[in-house]
Amino acid sequence: MGIVHGERTLKEVVEERERNQAETGSSYGQRALPLFEHEPTQLERIYWKLITATQYGRDTSMLISTSPSAITGELLQFVATPDGRAVASSWGLCGHSGALRMMIGTMGRLDYEEDQGMGGIRDGDIFSCNDPVHGSSQNNDMYTVVPLFAEDKLIGWAAGSLHLVDIGSALTPGMAGVSPTTYTDGLVVPPQKTGQNFVQSKSWELTLKRRTRMGVMNVLDDKMKLVGALMVRERVLNMVEEFGAERFVQAMQEIIERDRREIIARIKAWQVPAISHHPKIIHVTQKEYLGTAFPEAVDCTLHVPATCQINPDGTITQDFRGASSQGFHHYNCYPGGWNLGAYTDFPVLAMAPAMSNAIYEIARRKTDPGSICQPSRDDLGSVHGCVMAIDAHSNLGRGYALGRFARGFLEEAWVNEVLWGISSFEGEFGNGTPFASADWSLTANMPLGVTPWRDGVPVAVGTGNPLSDIGEAEEYEFLCPAITHVSRGLVADVMVHGKYRGPVAFGIGYLVTNPGGKMTFHSTGSPTGTSPACVVGICGGYPALPAYILLLHKTNVQELIDKQIPLPRHVLEARDYLKQGILTAEQIHDNTTETPEWEVEDGDLIYYANEAGSSWGEPLDRDPARVCYDLEEGWLSPDVAKTVYGVVARNAEVAGHSDHAQHTWTLDEEATQQARSRIKERRKQRAMPVQDWWTNERKRVQNNDLPELSRTMYQDCLQYEKFRDEFVSFWQLADGAHAAGEQEATHGS
């Protein structure tokens, strides 16, 4: 007799879950939904009670015990069925709700219930996990889970998840970046019991203190998640008392299946059955940084294809076959990483009040074993596996947007492009105390993606990650006292042009201020590593820009401060200052998005520009009135208006002090028409038929006349059937040998 309601073992319900899904397609093999059909009001009551329970647990626990990093909002509380499927969740990074089914799956399959060494699974137990192979999205995300027992039977789980401020990674603390193996990822905890009788063990507390930087903060956050989960537990048990255990469990199952059916119905009503392709490229630059310690960790270009197939039955096939091989870098994506990635589907496809497991049940993922999308070994670096998955799902979202556009629902055709960045600072204070911190401002305030009816909106949302707002400079300065914000704001002209332009980039400037001891900086984010978000732009627009970082080392900033010269506000102004000689720096580093550890010192300046998302449609279709608006707002330079948009506008009026000038721009319609005609004429001169281009490029491919990293990427990916078919048939090669050469991919393992 098992511990689960219905006299079954955890192992049985986990196996049943997987069997039902595979055989019937429905969440629990249901044909009918009696509560939904006959007692919808009661079902809704249970649903909203669950949502409010999780929200109550989240908001209250943050007042009891928390680190400053948790206040920024990623904390998620959720409640799940006995087999681990999330039913309802609070605000927070909702993608984490998918991880519990993996964690519980492992606990079921390995028969934790009968594990005498651990004492089985009992009321009051606490389990933790941050292992992407068995549950978490990445090891920075730690889950705290309590079983829900009613009448001595397991009726569900309450869980809390949070990104810890540091997880003890070997090379890039804070939000971990460069990490070739799981052993450099830092602390990785497979599902394990870390407390009982509703109290975490002292050994667990000691583990967090010993194996992570800022361990005290992590202990506080651990307590917070536990408090939240226990509050959810209390409310759930009250519900069981009100509705009965049988009905409560049935309701949870029906909620998931109801949501699944609703998503399917909406796909059929709004979209188009189709296949669309949205590949991405990631450049990994690590060789110089990792040196001889990890000779297998080379620079490489990773291929992340994303094919979105919307099937006639309303389900979605998410096809990532043809991706690069697994390797010694941080982009290996284990199943936990995919759970987080799928959260980008949620606001587009589900639009329900709370995240549930249904979103995972309308899609099937295809991957190649041994690729970064399905590693066959479990000892590889994976701290950015979930980042890759988020990007890949974000790109799949273009398929959803195109379907809605084709179907006429333009108001729903938005590109949920996840553009984010995290700046991490770490080192030692003057007294030798180690610290690590991360500024999440660029994650809390992502842009709202472009649509076929309006521009992208900068600093607008945190889809899935609703941190508070952009006004958190002081909080991040508290977390890392050795940085001072020089600026935060939009950066004019850093945008992607189109009929509807992408959001204007958001920039942050930091001044390093008296770090005391050693201090380093690194950044992570997306679009990652040189490339834009996606290879393909939307309907004639350009894809999103990569994020950009500029580090100025050993500057004359103190001299500028002494002379009361304002410091540069953003990356373009900093470059301008350098050009003019106002600002000097002994070393200038710049990079796109992903940086290794850069040592910084007092007076260094760091500028970040990100979130210049994709545009929609071609620039010459942009309403000139919109261009004039951008000119008046100062987002666009007149030269750019003319050269990119073919819009000629006259600066009709300048009033007031030069710093606060009021500009009124008047469209010169005739000159605009002429400028646009000239741009089209120039296109005719520059362009050639694709057949001619293909003929020339084919020779390059046949002769291996390609940049080394691209060549290596093709060599690697051609081993996978889907990419090989596409590549060989496109270039009409006898086989893959031409581009593949005879070498083996060097970054594969």
Partner 1 sequence: MDLKMKEKIRLLVDGQLPEDQVKDLIRMPTKDPDRFWTYLQVLQERVAWDDTMLLRISEHLYIVQKEESGKVISRVVKCDCGHEFGDYRTNWKLQAMIAVRKTTPELEEVYNAGIMPDPEHLEVREFYCPGCSAQLGVEVAPHGYPIVFELLPDLDSLYREWLGRPLADESPDWFQDRSSTLTAAWAKEVE
The CA radius of gyration of the chain, in Å to the nearest whole number, is 27
Alpha-carbon span 331 to 302, nearest angstrom: 9
Which one, 240 or 709, has the nearer CB to partner 1? 709
CB of 526 to partner 1, least distance (A): 15
Q: Tell me, what DSSP letter sits at residue 636? A: S
Number of residues that bind partner 1 (CB under 8 A): 97
Which of 55, 90, 200, 301: binder of partner 1 (CB under 8 A)?
301
DSSP 8-state secondary structure symbol assigned to residue 204: H
Among 38-46, 214-222, 337-345, 532-540, which window interacts with partner 1 (CB under 8 A)? 532-540
For 648, counting Cβ atoms within 10 Å of its Cβ (0-12 exposed, 13-18 middle, 19+ buried), the class is buried
One residue of 59, 621, 632, 668 binding partner 1 per CB under 8 A: 621
Using CB under 8 A as the criterion, what x/- string covers residues 172-211 for binding partner 1? Answer: ----------------------------------------
Rounded CA-CA distance 103/135 in Å is 4
Calpha distance 31→8 (Å, rounded) = 22
Helix, coil or strand: residue 592:
coil
Which segments of 345-384 does DSSP mark as H helices, in order?
none
Q: Which of 542, 598, 607, 665 touches partner 1 by CB under 8 A?
A: 542
Specify the stretch interacting with partner 1 by CB under 8 A; choose among 150-158, 340-348, 558-566, 615-623. Answer: 615-623
Q: Is 732 in the site for partner 1 (CB under 8 A)?
A: yes
Range in contact with partner 1 (rule: CB under 8 A) among 342-350, 480-488, 489-497, 557-565: 489-497
Closer Cβ to partner 1, 217 or 733, answer by number: 733
Q: Which of 274, 293, 654, 661 binds partner 1 (CB under 8 A)?
A: 274
Q: Which residue among 38, 576, 693, 743 contacts partner 1 (CB under 8 A)?
A: 693
Strand duo 300-304 + 280-284: pairing = antiparallel
643 binds partner 1 (CB under 8 A): yes
- For position 40 contacting partner 1 by CB under 8 A, the verdict is no
Q: Find out whether 467 and 492 touch, Cβ atoms under 8 Å.
A: no
Report the Cα–Cα distance between both ends of the chain, in Å, rounded: 45
User: 58 Cβ partners below 8 Å, 6+ apart?
Assistant: 75, 76, 77, 90, 91, 92, 160, 228
Q: Which is nearer to partner 1, 244 or 353 (CB)?
A: 353
Closest CA to 304 of 381, 391, 383, 418: 391
The residues in 557-596 that bind partner 1, with binding defined as CB under 8 A, are 571-572, 575, 592
Helix H, strand E, coil C: the string for 12-52 is HHHHHHHHHHHHHCCCCCCCCCHHHHHCHHHHHHHHHHHHH
Q: Confirm or reject binding of residue 711 to partner 1 (CB under 8 A).
A: yes
Nearer to partner 1, 681 or 721 (CB): 681
State yes or no: residue 617 binds partner 1 (CB under 8 A): yes
Rounded least distance, CB 418 to partner 1, Å: 18
Q: Is 450 in the site for partner 1 (CB under 8 A)?
A: no
With CB under 8 A as the contact rule, the residue among 566, 695, 737, 743 that binds partner 1 is 695
Among 539, 578, 667, 671, indicate the residue that binds partner 1 (CB under 8 A): 539
Give the binding range for partner 1 (CB under 8 A) out of 151-159, 190-198, 335-343, 452-460: 452-460
Candidate list 94, 701, 718, 740; residue touching partner 1; CB under 8 A:
701
Report in angstroms how near the CB of residue 375 gets to partner 1 at its nearest.
Answer: 23
Q: How far apart are CA 110 and CA 128, in angstroms?
A: 16
Minimum CB separation of residue 731 from partner 1 in Å reads 7
At CB < 8 A and 24+ separation, what contacts does 531-535 make?
531/280, 531/281, 531/282, 531/283, 532/614, 533/280, 533/391, 533/394, 533/395, 533/417, 533/419, 533/613, 533/614, 534/278, 534/279, 534/280, 534/395, 534/398, 534/614, 535/278, 535/279, 535/280, 535/281
Identified binder of partner 1 from the candidate list 739, 740, 745, 747, rule CB under 8 A: 739
Q: Could you tell me if 668 and 651 are in contact, meaning their C-beta atoms sit under 8 angstroms apart?
A: no
**Binding of partner 1 by 720 (CB under 8 A):** no
Q: Name which of 230, 237, 257 is nearest 43 in CA terms.
A: 257
Alpha-carbon dihedral sign for residues 193, 195, 196, 202: positive
Does 619 bind partner 1 (CB under 8 A)? Our answer is yes
Nearer to partner 1 among residue 210 and residue 680 (C-beta): 680
Question: Which one-letter amino acid corresponds to residue 644?
Answer: V
Task: Tell me how far the alpha carbon of residue 288 is from its chain's centroid.
Answer: 26
Site for partner 1 in 653-682 (CB under 8 A): 680-681
Three-state DSSP state, 512: strand
Nearest distance in Å: CB 493, partner 1: 4
Given 34, 40, 244, 273, the residue binding partner 1 (CB under 8 A): 273
Tokens describing residue 713: 């990427």
Q: How many residues belong to the chain?
A: 749
Least Å from the CB of residue 327 to partner 1: 17
- Looking only at the bridges linking them, the beta strands covering 483-491 and 420-428 are unpaired
E-assigned strands of 343-482?
363-366, 420-428, 434-439, 446-448, 457-461
Binding to partner 1 (CB under 8 A): which residues in 501-520? Answer: 505
**With binding defined as CB under 8 A, does residue 530 bind partner 1?**
yes
For partner 1, which residue of 56, 198, 243, 270 counts as binding (CB under 8 A)? 270
Q: Which string of x and - marks every residue 375-414 that binds partner 1 (by CB under 8 A)?
A: ------------------------x--x--xxxxxxxx--
* CB of 400 vs partner 1, minimal distance in Å: 12
Stretch that binds partner 1, among 42-50, 222-230, 374-382, 724-732 (CB under 8 A): 724-732
For residues 264 and 350, the answer to whether their CB atoms sit within 8 Å is no
**Is the omega angle on the peptide bond into residue 82 within 30 degrees of 0, that is, cis?**
no
Contact between 416 and partner 1 (CB under 8 A)?
A: no
| Nearer residue to partner 1 within complex by CB, 187 or 740 | 740
The residue within the footprint of partner 1, chosen from 500, 510, 607, 608 (CB under 8 A), is 500
